């Protein structure tokens, strides 16, 4: 059966922690979309690692990078070395049909953002959007193309001329990359990746047919989806979990989905953010919650929890249970606020309407008494401060989905699990 971890906000919800935790109970982890712009951090005791290409787990599992994911060769080679140095028995499988994020894609990305001036999206500048453009326009370069130096040179030269012309003549930039050096380095890097090539669609289908369990790691979060998110301030591709089927190459089937969200909202880069906090409190949350991008290192914008968005994300992804993170960050505040409705020009509106003019949405709040500083360890959620329990119960009632996991710190062990909701003995879920 398929299981999945999805982000219910604008990203950086703490998905990596739950990919790592849940992977211990499953047979493999698959990443099927996105590229090195999606960073997931995992911490266990004194070990903290960041992943942006490989599935985020410290356990020795079958790790799949499926054809829908984009590959930055230099970055994934570094992560492979990092994983293999742990000697945990992990086996890495990379689909040779994955498209390569090239250095010229990053150059184009930066030139495009500079050209847009005040209309910048807030891209991290890695080149993900440009790579997706080339894939859609059918002149992208795949891993399998880079194994033969002559094939690679032919394909790269064709793409190079197009993108160089754009950088220099459309965006008034300047391309400083050397073609021959890029060609040589790319070929060398991809030859190092060749031993990991595998048709991941067949591998995963075989595991599923034999009754094994696969965990799906989504890259970006729900409201960065380029269809249902805060367009145009989104990524260049769909992020909803059901996109896994064509991107992996398996038939549609049931997925048990864990939706992860923080007890407040964050956002990296530009774009509307109705519940954003403009006072010094945002700095307090940012510092206490270490709200800085895993990949970009940029400061994350902070705001109050937006429950209409969370409920919409639950419905879009078919979420079956919830994981809430960073409840320790809001401890010791006198009051905590939660958005319970969206208004536009004085009228309540649904989330589908909100996304049509998200910059004009007015949040309607409900306040909660704050909770005391949390302990380092809890056996069950009933040990939590009373005001935090009230806060969590309200969220469950509003969304209509149980909170199974409560994270109160970055470490794997800083997690309360409500085993009364589901058990591992249940064949259909975790």
Cα torsion angle, 58, 62, 67, 73, sign: positive
Whether domain 99-194 has CATH 1.10.300.10: yes
Q: Which residues contact 2 (CB under 8 A, 6 or more apart)?
A: 208, 213, 214, 216, 244, 253, 254, 255, 256
Reply yes or no: is the peptide bond before residue 232 cis, omega within 30 of 0: yes
CA distance to 195, 275, 336, 379, 383, per residue, from 387 (Å): 54, 22, 10, 18, 11
**pLDDT attached to residue 124:** 65
- List alpha helices for 259-385, DSSP H: 281-288, 307-317, 351-354
pLDDT of residue 48: 78
Show pLDDT as tens, one digit a residue, over the chain (430 residues). 999 999 999 998 989 889 988 998 899 999 999 999 877 778 776 777 888 999 988 888 999 999 999 999 999 999 999 999 988 899 999 999 999 999 999 999 888 888 877 666 656 678 999 999 999 999 999 999 999 999 999 999 999 999 999 999 999 888 989 999 999 999 999 999 999 999 999 999 999 999 999 999 988 899 999 999 999 999 989 999 999 999 999 999 999 999 999 999 999 888 999 999 999 999 999 999 999 876 667 899 999 999 999 999 999 999 999 999 999 999 999 999 999 999 999 999 999 999 999 999 999 999 999 999 999 899 899 999 999 999 999 999 999 999 999 999 888 889 999 876 543 334 344 5
Question: Is residue 411 flagged as an active site residue?
Answer: no
Cβ within 8 Å of residue 338, ≥6 positions away: 304, 305, 307, 365, 366, 367, 368, 391, 394, 395
Burial grade of 285 (CB within 10 A; 0-12, 13-18, 19 or more): buried
Contact 344, 314 (CB under 8 A): no
Closest CA to 160 of 236, 202, 99, 108: 108
First to last CA, the chain: 10
User: What pLDDT score does 87 carry?
Assistant: 86
Q: Are 55 and 19 in contact (CB under 8 A)?
A: yes
Contact of 322 with 285, CB cutoff 8 Å: no
- Residue position matching structure tokens 């910048």: 120
Instruction: Confirm if 405 and 323 have CB atoms less than 8 A apart.
Output: yes
Q: Give pLDDT, residue 429.
A: 41
Domain 2-82+201-417 indexed as CATH 2.30.40.10? no
Q: Map residue 346 onto helix, strand or coil.
A: coil
Q: Which of 3, 40, 105, 414 is catalytic?
A: 40
Q: Is 40 marked active-site?
A: yes
**Domain ranges, ordered by start, for the chain:** 2-82+201-417, 99-194
- Ranges of H-type helices in 196-255: 200-209, 244-248
Calpha distance 411→45 (Å, rounded): 7
Matching CATH topology for 2-82+201-417 and 99-194? no
97/113 Cα distance (integer angstroms)? 28
Following DSSP, what letter does each residue of 316-336 receive, concatenated?
HHT--EEEEE-TTTTTT-SEE
User: What are residue 44's DSSP bridge partners?
Assistant: 47
What pLDDT score does 118 carry? 67
The predicted model scores a pTM of 0.90
Of residues 3, 12, 105, 134, which has the active-site annotation? Answer: 12
3-state secondary structure of 130: helix
């Amino acid at each position: 059966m398929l299981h999945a971890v999805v982000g219910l906000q604008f990203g950086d919800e703490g998905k990596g922690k739950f990919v790592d935790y849940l992977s211990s109970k499953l047979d493999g982890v698959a990443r099927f979309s996105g590229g090195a712009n999606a960073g997931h951090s995992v911490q266990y005791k004194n070990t903290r690692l960041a992943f942006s290409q490989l599935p985020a787990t410290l356990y020795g599992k079958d790790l799949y990078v499926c054809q829908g994911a984009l590959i930055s060769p230099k970055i994934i080679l570094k992560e492979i070395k990092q994983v293999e140095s742990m000697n945990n028995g992990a086996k890495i499988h990379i689909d040779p049909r994955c498209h390569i994020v090239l250095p010229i894609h990053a150059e184009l990305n930066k030139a495009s953002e500079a050209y847009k001036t005040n209309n910048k999206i807030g891209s991290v500048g890695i080149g993900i959007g440009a790579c997706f453009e080339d894939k859609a326009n059918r002149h992208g370069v795949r891993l399998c193309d880079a194994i033969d130096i002559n094939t690679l040179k032919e394909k790269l030269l064709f793409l190079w001329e197009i993108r160089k012309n754009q950088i220099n003549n459309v965006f008034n930039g300047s391309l400083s990359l050397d073609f021959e050096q890029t060609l040589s380095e790319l070929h060398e890097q991809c030859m190092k990746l060749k031993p990991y090539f595998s048709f991941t669609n067949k591998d995963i289908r075989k595991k599923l047919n034999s009754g094994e369990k696969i965990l799906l790691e989504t890259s970006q979060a729900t409201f960065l989806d380029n269809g249902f998110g805060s367009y145009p301030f989104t990524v260049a591709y769909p992020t909803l979990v059901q996109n896994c089927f064509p991107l992996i190459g398996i038939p549609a089937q049931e997925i048990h989905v864990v939706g992860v969200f923080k007890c407040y909202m964050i956002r990296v880069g530009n774009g509307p953010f109705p519940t954003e906090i403009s006072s010094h409190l945002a700095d307090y949350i940012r510092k206490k919650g270490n709200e800085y991008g895993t990949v970009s290192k940029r400061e994350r914008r902070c705001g109050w929890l937006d429950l209409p968005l969370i409920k919409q994300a639950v419905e879009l992804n078919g979420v079956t249970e919830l994981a809430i993170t960073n409840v320790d960050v809001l401890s010791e505040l006198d009051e905590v606020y939660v958005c319970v409705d969206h208004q536009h020009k004085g009228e309540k509106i649904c989330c589908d309407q909100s996304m049509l003019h998200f910059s004009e949405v007015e949040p309607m709040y409900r306040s909660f008494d704050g909770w005391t500083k949390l302990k380092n360890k809890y056996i069950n959620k009933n040990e939590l401060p009373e005001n935090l329990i009230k806060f969590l119960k309200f969220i469950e009632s509003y969304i209509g989905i149980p909170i199974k996991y409560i994270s109160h710190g970055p470490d794997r062990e800083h997690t309360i699990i409500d085993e009364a909701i589901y058990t591992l003995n249940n064949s259909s879920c975790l």
